[in-house]
Structure 1
Amino acid sequence: MCGLTQTKFNLFQKTCNFSSHYIANENTFASDLAIEALDTLLKNDVLSKEELDVIFLATHTPDFFAPQTSSIIHKKLNLNKKTICIDTTAFCSGFLQTLMQAFLMLDNPNIHKIVILTSLVKSKKIDIKNDKISYLTHSDCACAILIEKSQDTSQKTFFSQNIYSQYALEETLPLNAYNTNFNEYLYINNGLFFDFASKNYPEFFDDFFEYFDIDKTQIANFFFHTPNEFFLQKMLENLCLNNFPCFHQVFRTYGDCKISNLPIELCLYKQNDKIGTASQKKGGGE
């Protein structure tokens, strides 16, 4: 626990408002977690191997530079040889970016079922001595999400994204790959990230609803990808989402799951909704 006594760690948990976090052991990697997630879908008859057309693996902690990690998953689960395997190097926005790619592929008349795998063992690339908070609030984890073609053609999905590449080497500092001139550990400039999101996201958020002509009051629930409770509260204040329903439990339950935050959030919402205990966080603002 990064040199903290149990008492100090319990105080840290209480202050940050999370109950647990999960760290993969030294012999467990992104493929192992992803295999467990996908195998759960298969064992519970959510889909069969023969039905699976595509698997996307979204991660920035692959087992190797080569071969691609989704091919390793394919091999170990003995998937159908016709199943397409695609790795995407993805960070926090990786789930939504991969979801967009999955929707585009479903336009192909021969593709009907796609599984998005989000898997991360970021703990192996965190500098525990100098970045204790990131390590203690992070959880290594994986999710498997089935996306399939709908027969209801009236359903619509909206996607928008802005890229600010001028900050590409500043917000996330370079992590060594074939270019070994930078960092052995992953560092995020959290101050830059927070300031940038606070200034730019509200305009992007409002433009999204205006462009697609969507009434915010008709949204049943908002889900935000945020690294912690503090960031979420500040974001809600900046967006002026006063009394808008916003479901947020993943951090309090598992800590920061990074690329898997939104999939887990949706699962928790579904589980709580079934037993009638879905809790919602109300946003403040003027």
Structure 2
Amino acid sequence: MKANIKAISYYLPESVLTNDLINQEFPEWGIEKISAKTGINARHISAKDEFSSDMAVKAAEKLFAEHNIDKSEIDFLLFCTQSPDYFLPTTACIIQEKLGLETTIGALDFNLGCSGFVYGLSLAKGLIAGEMAKNVLLITSETYSKFIHPKDKSNKTIFGDAAAATLISSEKGFCTLGNFVFGTDGKGAENLIVKQGGMRFPVSDKNEDIVDEFGNVRNDKNLFMNGTEIFNFTGEFVPQLTEAILEKSNLAKEDIDLFVFHQANKYMLNHLRKKIKIPEEKFFIAMEECGNTVSSTIPIALYEAQKQGKVNNCKNVILAGFGVGYSWAACNLIVE
């Protein structure tokens, strides 16, 4: 049984952190410099009392309204986040109740970052192919801003908060899910990490702020990213990932009409595009007004590509997610 993407919607919080506001706080970071390096002009930041489930519900409600979807037909909910409301209960259960979905549905959380949307698509395809579900609601929602130290200018320029909701169905959609390839290398775990907060390292009140060589301030309860190591990882594994999904799908690079990669930052994306030798017109970037929204970057970009008419004229699309874990995944979409 085929699994198809029927519709996507997304939600961005009201508060906006512009490059101008970052420049006012960190005068050494010029507005043009931030924009040129990251490709980001603004990021949306969740309110103090706004959490992943709240944003997830708003994204799903937009999906139902924008695409005239009957929520009673949803029979499985997949929720991807690394910033859940609680350790327990499962945030997907909270979302089910808030959305008023049927109590006969399945619902679960899975903890993945930048590769999470592609992994979620594979889980949805498996549920549909195994005839365990007909309509899967996949939601990605992340509030990374709550992990970032107020004086960590590097991470503040990159990450934004967002949620995206995608309906995957056995019924016809705008594209069909094809093949998938995956990868994992836990050796890179400490290069993108929030060290405290779990059972191994509970949150401590005795944290000392550390200032790195670039002037970024953080401690062990904040998000830490080793930008150099993350860049090296993507440069090594993403070209291999692209080749692997092309080979598994029996496609040549020339057969692909559109590539939609995780929207990490403009510099990294352009480096990857040139290394893989993807024509600029086939490489979609959509992060200027929302930043790196982790697991939501690909569905947001795919929504915007479809809105701009770049998907309708396609036959084959490649999605690729990569980052925290290290974890990576890619799939091909066959546009109907």
State if a TM-score over 0.5 links the two structures: yes
The aligned amino acid for 1:260 is S
> Cα distance, 1:179 vs. partner?
2.0
Unaligned runs of 5+ in 1: 277-286
More strand by share: 2
Work out which of the residue numbers 112, 117, 122 in structure 2 matches 1:100: 122
CA RMSD of superposed structures (Å): 2.7
> Cα distance, 1:209 vs. partner?
1.9
* Gap change, CA 1:204 and 1:138, over 3 Å in 2: closer
Whether the aligned pair in 2 keeps the contact of 1:171 and 1:192 (CA below 8 Å) is no
Work out which of the residue numbers 164, 169, 188 in structure 2 matches 1:167: 188
Whether the aligned pair in 1 keeps the contact of 2:44 and 2:162 (CA below 8 Å) is yes
Count how many residue pairs are aligned between Structure 1 and Structure 2: 273
The aligned amino acid for 1:99 is L
> Cα distance, 1:52 vs. partner?
0.5
Whether the aligned pair in 1 keeps the contact of 2:125 and 2:177 (CA below 8 Å) is no
Look up the match of 1:143.
Answer: 164
Note the 1:75-114 alignment, pairs <5 A.
75-114=97-136
Distance 1:96 1:188 in 2: 22
* Gap change, CA 1:11 and 1:100, over 3 Å in 2: same
Look up the match of 1:284.
Answer: none
Distance 1:211 1:45 in 2: 32
> Cα distance, 1:198 vs. partner?
1.0
1:239 partnered with 2:260: no
Distance 2:106 2:248 in 1: 34
Identity value in percent:
23
Unaligned runs of 5+ in 2: 1-20, 204-219, 313-336
1:26 partnered with 2:51: no
Work out which of the residue numbers 24, 29, 42 in structure 2 matches 1:4: 24
> Cα distance, 1:196 vs. partner?
1.7
Whether the aligned pair in 1 keeps the contact of 2:196 and 2:202 (CA below 8 Å) is no
Distance 2:51 2:121 in 1: 23
Whether the aligned pair in 2 keeps the contact of 1:172 and 1:189 (CA below 8 Å) is no
The aligned amino acid for 2:125 is F
1:115 partnered with 2:137: yes
Note the 1:3-82 alignment, pairs <5 A.
4-5=24-25, 10-15=31-36, 16-44=38-66, 46-82=68-104
Greater mean deviation of Cα atoms: 35-44 or 97-106: 35-44
> Cα distance, 1:34 vs. partner?
0.4
The aligned amino acid for 1:142 is A
Distance 2:26 2:275 in 1: 36
Q: Which has the higher contact order (CA 8 A, sep 6+)?
A: 2
Look up the match of 2:214.
Answer: none
Whether the aligned pair in 1 keeps the contact of 2:263 and 2:269 (CA below 8 Å) is yes
The aligned amino acid for 1:270 is Q
Secondary structure in 2 aligned to 1:147? strand
> Cα distance, 1:268 vs. partner?
0.6
The aligned amino acid for 1:125 is F
Look up the match of 2:306.
Answer: 270
The aligned amino acid for 2:153 is K
Q: 1:109-152: per-residue Cα shift (whole Å, max 9, x none)?
A: 351101100001110011222x2121133211101100001469
* Gap change, CA 1:211 and 1:45, over 3 Å in 2: closer
Whether the aligned pair in 1 keeps the contact of 2:191 and 2:224 (CA below 8 Å) is no
Whether the aligned pair in 2 keeps the contact of 1:139 and 1:255 (CA below 8 Å) is yes
Look up the match of 1:199.
Answer: 236
Secondary structure in 2 aligned to 1:162? strand
Distance 2:159 2:269 in 1: 16
Look up the match of 1:189.
Answer: 226
Look up the match of 2:259.
Answer: 222
TM-score (norm 2): 0.74
